[in-house]
Structure 1
Amino acid sequence: MKLLRHGPPGQEKAGALDAQGRTRDLSLLVPDLTPEWLSPEKLQALTAIDLARMPLVPIGTRLGVPVAGTRQFIAIGLNYRKHAEEANLPIPAEPIVFNKSVHCLAGPDDDVTLPPGALACDWEVELGFVIGTAARRVSEQDALSHVAGYCLANDLSERDWQMNRGGQWVKGKSFDGFGPVGPWLVTADEVRDPQNIPLELTVNGVVRQQSSTQDMIFSVAHIVAHLSQFMTLMPGDIVVTGTPQGVGMGVKPKPVYLASGDVIELRAGVLGQQRQRVL
């Protein structure tokens, strides 16, 4: 099932994509897609809904982050082999973990506003996943049973703040709008292999990133198991799993960064697509 939230910021309602690719409103049955709706039992109940009987959402209606009430927005850095090569950095021995503020979460097609004084805003197409049941010290073998579903994400980054302002990467990762997620959450039963998802990102129609999650150093199962050793992952938590080669910072001989007027487009097969205008 492809679950989503539609409506203006702060007023989103629960919805889903039907078999014909049309957006249906579920708010008569489900007030909002909050963490308690991500358990296997609740997801099974959602799949039993006859979407053909649910009201259609008007074409062009804004889509928001597909899950409400996220408490943690966690990211993995340097998790693609070819990205590590373009950055001239060694393959990590274990996942590099950092946080993005939950306040930077945005809808998949929301505008991106460059922060005042920004010098080096960059793009990062990524596979994201959402936790469905609490994970504490789980094994890699059992890890995927705690994942409710998968989504497309853009881990936007201000490289000057990330690299040169001291402290953690979170400084360059958490500006408002720097975490577009969606357009929908594809439930785990529809993603046979999260390690075989195509990823593509273009800027103004020019392909900048084109890869697959096959190039990930640490799999989704490994990431869930690893994170759960030192933090409890709760329903609704969003984890983005790293970006492939092709970021603006890696362009040779001189980096290329986002400017006002640019249009970013992302695609990830079954996970859908995003489009953001830079302001």
Structure 2
Amino acid sequence: MKFLARTVIVLITVSLCFVAYSFYVSRPAVDTAWEPTRPQVIADPAAALTFARTGSSLIRVMRHNGDTIEGIDITAELGDARDLIEAYAQLGYEGLEKVTGPEVVVPVTELTVPADFHYPHVAAGTNYYEHAKEVYLDDPPFLFPKLSQASAWNHPVDFHPRLDFEAELAMVPLSDIGSPEDQVEYALILCNDFTDRWTLLRQLDLRAPMGTTGFAAGKGRPSFLPTGYLFVIPKSASFYQTISLELAVNGEARQRFTADQMILNVDEIVHQAFAQAARTFFDGDEQVELLPKHVIPRGTLILTGTAAGVLFKPANVWNQGFYLQRGDQVVTRATFLGHLENHIE
């Protein structure tokens, strides 16, 4: 009888310790307050060109006022080249820099996805050391296909159990990449790689190469890729290192990091993508490819990974309360790249 009582006490103690630990690891990783009124900043035109798009216009952005942007409507001057990536292909950096038009002021609410992105996308996992550490992964950075169409910056996100966020910098090749040795220019855009962690874990096969199972399904929901309204084309390939990203849920800071902390840069991600082009990935039971056309077409979003601060921890997956709920508001911001506002529905 005493043995049984001791066993029950031990089990209760272990359970309470586990619950306490799950709360401990679920605390915010950011220890500074969120600044909801922090001014938005546009890149110096000497360092990068910034563009936005409405339903009918392309705008070269010169100023961000919070609720509005100011810039030059370049739609008429571009003629048939109404997509920014096509305009870059025709005019190049210097040509786009010289395009003129009338000055306009546009509400941010009128801005939509700024370019015609190619589907599917290439994503890097655990490309920041602190994120790999927080989810207990010793694997080097890995890749997976992101099977979501890009949606607008303020598009709602569908609720799923164990829903999680990942603030990310996406790099967009402005010409096709047919070989890992190709030298191409990249544009930059902010995005959020939302994840259904429950599906990811259920489909994850730890015997298979990391990224080939679970990730395509868990990250491939239709509303799981909101993208920013600012499309930034830098002059320098190292410009991305000046980007800081941050994220808040219901006004509480959860992520804050700089892009220069990523482990693999975009050229190394591209090399790895071609090296894995023949690998089989799974979306549930369906086989999918990382590079279906054996190239990375221009306009593909290359998601470069996220840093520490995500909701998922191996110790807290038992409780939906640690994850996003219906009605939550997720705000993602990045230097020079504007912001996202996504409600969970």
TM-score by length of 1: 0.84
- Cα distance change, pair 228–184 in 1 and its aligned pair in 2 (3 A): farther
Give the aligned partner of residue 331 of structure 2: 265
Can you give the 5+ residue segments of structure 1 that lack an aligned partner in the other structure? none
Question: For this pair of structures, how many residues does the alignment match?
Answer: 263
Distance of 1:169 and 1:266 partners within structure 2: 22
Q: State whether residues 135 and 228 of structure 1, in contact with CA within 8 Å, keep that contact through their aligned partners in structure 2.
A: no
> CA deviation digits over 1:239-266, x for unaligned, max 9?
1111101101139766621111111111
Distance of 1:211 and 1:41 partners within structure 2: 34
Alignment partner of 2:200: what SS?
helix
Q: State whether residues 82 and 215 of structure 1, in contact with CA within 8 Å, keep that contact through their aligned partners in structure 2.
A: no
Give the aligned partner of residue 46 of structure 1: 96
Q: State whether residues 161 and 171 of structure 1, in contact with CA within 8 Å, keep that contact through their aligned partners in structure 2.
A: yes
Distance of 1:25 and 1:228 partners within structure 2: 38
- Cα distance change, pair 61–112 in 1 and its aligned pair in 2 (3 A): same
Distance of 1:37 and 1:74 partners within structure 2: 23
Query: Residue 109 of structure 1: which of 131, 147, 154 is its match?
Result: 154
Give the aligned partner of residue 200 of structure 2: 162
Give the aligned partner of residue 188 of structure 1: 234
Cα deviation for residue 183 of structure 1 reads 1.9
> CA deviation digits over 1:30-72, x for unaligned, max 9?
453254234374443221112xx33525324432222114233
Distance of 1:4 and 1:211 partners within structure 2: 25
Query: Residue 152 of structure 1: which of 184, 190, 193 is its match?
Result: 190
Over alpha carbons, which structure has the higher Rg?
Answer: 2
TM-score by length of 2: 0.69
Give the aligned partner of residue 134 of structure 1: 176
Give the aligned partner of residue 206 of structure 1: 252
Amino acid at match of 2:340: Q
Give the alignment of 1:1-279 within 5 angstroms.
1-7=49-55, 13-19=57-63, 21-30=69-78, 32-33=82-83, 35-39=85-89, 41-50=91-100, 53-54=101-102, 56=104, 58-92=106-140, 95-103=141-149, 105-114=150-159, 118-139=160-181, 145-165=183-203, 167-189=213-235, 192-229=238-275, 230=277, 231-250=294-313, 256-279=322-345
Cα deviation for residue 15 of structure 1 reads 2.5
Can you give the 5+ residue segments of structure 2 that lack an aligned partner in the other structure? 1-48, 205-212, 278-293
Distance of 2:120 and 2:102 partners within structure 1: 31
RMSD over aligned Cα atoms: 2.5
- Cα distance change, pair 4–191 in 1 and its aligned pair in 2 (3 A): farther
